[in-house]
Structure 1
Amino acid sequence: MFGVTSTLNGSLLMTHWDVHHLPRADGKTFLVTGGNAGIGYFVAEQLAGSGATVLLGSRNATKAETAMASIRSRVPDARLGHLRLDLSDLSSLESSVDSLEIERLDAVVCNAGVLLEDQPRRETAEGLELTFATNHLGHFVLAHQLMPLLEAAEAGRVVTTGSFVGKSAELDLDDLQSERDYQPKRTYARSKLAQMLFAFELDRRLRAAGSTVLSVVDHPGGALDSLTPARPVHPAPGGRKFPAGLLLQGKEAGAWPAVRAVLDPAVRGGEMFGPRVFGLRGEPRREPVRGKLADTALAARLWAASVGLTGIGVTR
């Protein structure tokens, strides 16, 4: 069972985190980008079970409705909503956030992303490489637009979903748009590294500004479609699951680190959560932040480049 103990100085300490018995979050509001499918769907489903209001950020209203119906079939009293959100269209994000009829936002899970396998390089209407724009720059701008709502919460959180492959990527700050040598999987990995670097830099800036908002990173480990439980948004997979099931996991389990990053009262800004077993599968645990992820100079340079590409900062 989930438990919290109080230390002498009044801080909260987790005694155990049980993915099947989450703490209640009644009265709170969470936004999950890409909440209509994949890991984002399972993040939304699990957070809905905590009693919170969960908003699914998706550009496709029909897919969002299907996802919400699926969640309600498992969480009958779920409080859900849809926010039309197209992260590849940076100019649309301000109006999307303005359409939210809420006074505060307790957390945003920056989960949505694209991987354009076996496709040529594509650009957004604003002339930005599509994968990097959607996965990193879209969330960079979204965090800026949401900051007043996050600061209105008692302790708002920006939870950024990175990737295991992002840890080993090399970020070319002179070619963030992959104009010289575009390779879809490499571009995706670089975009996920950029997301994680942004999240850690965001927390440093929030702490320096005295903000109550925390920025936290999670990653799902090795989450495969073939190991994922069936849902209307994710049909039952076929084929054999062995031996992948010994090393990897489904997307339901891949959602656990993000859910913990949102709900665990012991979470602190600048932390990272991933699966327990070799960072690939298992219950979520706190991971050390090291290597490129701890490179503050690299993160600061990426931040400056992101401001240059979008024209905005993130903290006000």
Structure 2
Amino acid sequence: MPSPTPTESWDVRRLPSAPGRHVLVTGGNAGIGYFVAEQFAGTGATVVLGSRDTAKAETAMASIRSRVPGARVRALRLDLADLSSLEASVEALRLDRLDAVVLNAGVMLDHPPRRETHDGHELMFATNHLGHFALTRWLAPLLAAAPAARIVTTGSFAAKSERLDLDDLQSTRDYQPKRTYARSKLAQMLFALELDRRLRAAGSTALSMVTHPGGALDSLTPSRPPVHIRTTSARLRGLPAGLLVQGKEAAAWPAVRAVLDPAVAGGQLWAPRVFGLRGLPRPAPLWDHLTDTTAAARLWDASCELTGVDPSSGLA
């Protein structure tokens, strides 16, 4: 497993130019995903916002264009909870290659009851993990066509204290929303690292890495009306928390660097510098349970069975 190494200085406000590159951001219409997309747009890359809500995607694109003159941004209808729709969504991209995908979209439920997709999968596990797992399979030919594609998975600090129950991946026996969410994010992170191992074994030029955004609060997030509106009172209330966490604009930095920095390696975890909660992005040690290759391989096999696809197909 690669260990963190010193990298050259990185200016989050002066990103390298990336004209001609194509980047897909799932969940790019709101939250951290919106700021990932806005920052990529500023590099001259063509940014695709993957969203199940077309109206919200249109609003987000208008906001990006108002801040980034000449932004190359488009929307793609993408419902990660509907596995049968993903192949058609990828075909609708109409691209001959994809330089990067940021697997960022997610669902977090706060209260029971347990909900399922029409495929019969628990909603958070299905959207956060299985949907991205299957999407990567359909994107594989486009990613393989790029000279050095990057697959960046957004994890979560919530996953640090959780462990997968490989015999109950969909929380059928013990459904606790916060735990189920954290486990779905842990599954995403294990998938990303297992994907990179398989890419390396196949001799692929594509890289897969993991990021986590640290602590990201709306009250510390700059306004992007109507996508996000921060009132003066909310900003003032959030100031004390700014000593420990950050807003969603800064929370986007690890994913943006993971795509654009040539020094980033596959299999790395990128996170905020200060206790993993705030600050500039840096490579961080993998959490102990993220190095469990047996669990990751078992999760991969189970995910292939549940989705009917294998993401490493076509990426070599």
TM range (shorter): over 0.9
C-alpha displacement at 1:290, in angstroms? 3.5
In the alignment, structure 1 residue 312 sits paired with structure 2 residue 306: no
Q: Alignment partner of 2:151: what SS? A: strand
- The one-letter amino acid paired with 1:115 is M
Unaligned runs of 5+ residues in structure 1 are 1-12
In the alignment, structure 1 residue 256 sits paired with structure 2 residue 249: no
2:278 maps to 281
Residue 207 of structure 1: which of 175, 193, 200 is its match? 200
Unaligned runs of 5+ residues in structure 2 are 1-5
Q: Distance in 1 between matches of 2:149 and 2:8?
A: 23
Q: Distance in 1 between matches of 2:45 and 2:128?
A: 25
C-alpha displacement at 1:241, in angstroms? 1.2
1:52 maps to 45
1:234 maps to 228
Q: Distance in 2 between matches of 1:241 and 1:42?
A: 19
2:98 maps to 105
Q: Alignment partner of 1:249: what SS? A: coil
1:89 maps to 82
Q: Distance in 1 between matches of 2:42 and 2:239?
A: 30
1:270 maps to 267
1:65 maps to 58
Q: Distance in 1 between matches of 2:148 and 2:71?
A: 23
Q: Distance in 2 between matches of 1:260 and 1:272?
A: 12
Q: Alignment partner of 2:309: what SS? A: coil
Q: Distance in 1 between matches of 2:120 and 2:287?
A: 33
C-alpha displacement at 1:14, in angstroms? 4.5
- The one-letter amino acid paired with 2:245 is L
C-alpha displacement at 1:242, in angstroms? 3.3
User: For 1:42-89, what per-residue CA distance to the aligned partner results, in whole angstroms no more than 9, with x for missing partners?
Assistant: 000001001100000001111001000000111011000111100000
Q: Distance in 1 between matches of 2:287 and 2:270?
A: 13
Which structure 2 residues correspond to residues 82-231 of structure 1 after superposition, within 5 A? Answer: 82-231=75-224
Q: Which moved more, 1:273-282 or 1:285-294?
A: 285-294
1:77 maps to 70
- Output the aligned Cα RMSD: 1.0
Q: Distance in 2 between matches of 1:61 and 1:76?
A: 22
- The one-letter amino acid paired with 1:234 is H
User: For 1:212-250, what per-residue CA distance to the aligned partner results, in whole angstroms no more than 9, with x for missing partners?
Assistant: 110011010001111111112111144311321110000
2:3 maps to none
Moved over 2 A (4+): none
On the 8 A contact 2:99/2:150 being kept in 1, the answer is yes
On the 8 A contact 2:217/2:246 being kept in 1, the answer is yes
On the 8 A contact 2:57/2:75 being kept in 1, the answer is yes
Q: Distance in 2 between matches of 1:168 and 1:70?
A: 36
Structure 1's 241 and 290: CA in aligned 2 closer, same or farther, altered over 3 A? Answer: closer
Q: Distance in 2 between matches of 1:95 and 1:242?
A: 45
User: For 1:267-299, what per-residue CA distance to the aligned partner results, in whole angstroms no more than 9, with x for missing partners?
Assistant: 111111000000000000011113001111111
Give the count of matched residue pairs.
Answer: 304
Q: Distance in 2 between matches of 1:119 and 1:103?
A: 43
On the 8 A contact 2:97/2:142 being kept in 1, the answer is yes
1:296 maps to 293
Q: Distance in 1 between matches of 2:160 and 2:50?
A: 26
Q: Alignment partner of 2:242: what SS? A: helix
Q: Alignment partner of 2:63: what SS? A: helix
Q: Distance in 2 between matches of 1:315 and 1:241?
A: 43
On the 8 A contact 2:220/2:239 being kept in 1, the answer is no
Report % sequence identity. Answer: 71
Q: Distance in 1 between matches of 2:24 and 2:103?
A: 8
Q: TM-score, normalised by structure 2?
A: 0.94
Q: TM-score, normalised by structure 1?
A: 0.94
- The one-letter amino acid paired with 1:251 is K
On the 8 A contact 2:49/2:57 being kept in 1, the answer is yes
Q: Alignment partner of 2:19: what SS? A: coil
Q: Distance in 2 between matches of 1:271 and 1:215?
A: 8
On the 8 A contact 2:150/2:259 being kept in 1, the answer is yes
User: For 1:161-211, what per-residue CA distance to the aligned partner results, in whole angstroms no more than 9, with x for missing partners?
Assistant: 000111211111111111111111110000000000000000000000111
